[in-house]
Amino acid sequence: MNKRNMQAMGDFSIDAIPRTYDALPERVFRAWIDPASVKVWLAGGKNISIDPREGGLFYIEMPWQERIYPHYGRYLRVESPRLLEFTWVSEGSRGKESVVKIELTARGAKTELRLTHDGLPDEEQAKNHHGGWSGFLETLAERLR
Please report whether residue 112 resides in a domain.
yes
Q: How many CB atoms lie within 10 A of CB 115?
A: 21
At 90-134, the pLDDT tens digits run 998 999 999 999 999 999 999 999 999 999 999 999 999 999 999
pLDDT value for 8: 57
Residue 83: inside a domain: yes
pLDDT digits (tens, 9 = 90+) for 40-94: 999 999 999 999 999 999 999 999 888 999 999 999 999 999 999 999 999 989 9
Residue 27 lies in a domain: yes
Does residue 35 lie within any of the structural domains? yes
Residue 134 lies in a domain: yes
Q: Give the residue numbers spanning the domain of 116.
A: 11-144
Report d(CA 61, CA 46) in Å as an integer.
6
CATH of the domain at 126: 3.30.530.20
Domain count, the chain: 1
Q: Are 110 and 26 in contact (CB under 8 A)?
A: no
The answer to whether position 6 is within a domain reads no
